[in-house]
């Protein structure tokens, strides 16, 4: 499977600031996704990152808070804007590959703590 | 919430014993996948089972799927301390939007 890397692996940020998380895949993939995992919780899909067009957001998530870029088939960024302590989570990117049914693979995650 | 439920929430066993985790979901699915997560890191894909399959094996892992009951189970045989992790099921209804279960925290004692 394609290897996914994320940067940064972790960060501590002050409230009111923004952080951009990068996700790099070592081969071209069609679909990329961003998830949030709040402390002790399961994963929640934030949005689907679409190459060449605006991301598709899930209910409860908006572009102003989580702007996403997908400039090509191997790279995506997620920005967490105007952060508050409630944004402290692990943020994971993923992609799907293989013949249907595709398997979803995840990056190592970015652990964010907002003070 | 569409989120699946997993039970138990936490499981503690001795090394060498078998561990069984259950996942229930709410809507019809195309496939179900199981993942392992160590200490809040990224998720490792374990196994995928299609909706028309009833059982699948991979090494020490055995997954069953009962679509009539909307449930799946993951069995880890002869557990090892290295199996200590959180385990999640995730279902796909054909939209690529995977819905994750609440997870089971497994602790294997040496």
Nearest to B85 by CA among B70, B66, B72, B104: B104
The answer to whether the CB of A48 falls within 8 A of the CB of A113 is: no
What pLDDT band is residue B1 in, cutting at 50, 70 and 90?
very low
What pLDDT was estimated at residue A83? 97
A113 touches chain B (CB under 8 A): no
What pLDDT was estimated at residue A17? 97
Nearest to A103 among B45, B97, B100 (CB): B45
The answer to whether the CB of B67 falls within 8 A of the CB of B51 is: yes
- A-B CB pairs within 8 A amount to 54
Give the SS3 label for residue A55.
coil
The answer to whether the CB of A68 falls within 8 A of the CB of A3 is: no
Compare all CA atoms of chain A with the CA of B94 and give the residue at the minimum distance.
A101
B50 touches chain A (CB under 8 A): yes
Q: Which position has the token pair 């508050």?
A: A84
State both tokens at A96: 């799907």
A45 touches chain B (CB under 8 A): yes
A5 touches chain B (CB under 8 A): no
Give me the residues of B, 56-85, that contact A with CB < 8 A.
Answer: none
Under DSSP, the state recorded for A9 is S
What pLDDT band is residue A2 in, cutting at 50, 70 and 90?
confident
Per-residue pLDDT of A8-26, as tens digits, reads: 999 999 999 999 999 999 9
Per-residue pLDDT of B2-45, as tens digits, reads: 567 888 999 999 999 999 999 999 988 889 999 999 986 789 99
Mean pLDDT of A89-98: 90
Compare all CA atoms of chain A with the CA of B38 and give the residue at the minimum distance.
A108
Mean pLDDT of A58-64: 95
Chain CA centroid to CA B95, Å: 20
């Amino acid at each position: 499977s394609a290897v996914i890397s994320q940067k940064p692996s972790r960060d501590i940020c002050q409230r009111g600031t923004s952080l951009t998380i990068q996700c790099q895949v070592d081969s071209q993939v069609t679909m990329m996704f961003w998830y949030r995992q709040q402390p002790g919780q399961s994963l929640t899909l934030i949005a689907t990152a679409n190459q060449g067009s605006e991301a598709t957001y899930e209910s409860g998530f908006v572009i102003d808070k989580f702007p996403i870029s997908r400039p090509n088939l191997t790279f995506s960024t997620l920005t967490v804007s105007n952060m508050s302590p409630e944004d402290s989570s692990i943020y994971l990117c993923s992609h799907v590959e293989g013949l249907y049914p595709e398997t979803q693979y995840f990056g190592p995650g970015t652990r964010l703590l907002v003070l | 919430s569409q989120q699946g439920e997993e039970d138990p929430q936490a499981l503690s066993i001795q090394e060498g014993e078998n561990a069984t985790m259950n996942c229930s979901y709410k809507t019809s699915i195309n496939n179900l996948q199981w993942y392992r997560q160590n200490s809040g890191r990224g998720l490792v894909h374990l196994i995928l089972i299609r909706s028309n399959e009833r059982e699948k094996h991979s090494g020490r892992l055995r997954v069953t799927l009962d679509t009539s009951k909307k449930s799946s189970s993951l069995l880890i045989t002869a557990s090892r301390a290295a199996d200590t992790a959180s385990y999640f099921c995730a279902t796909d209804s054909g939209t690529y939007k995977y819905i994750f279960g609440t997870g089971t925290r497994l602790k294997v004692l040496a």
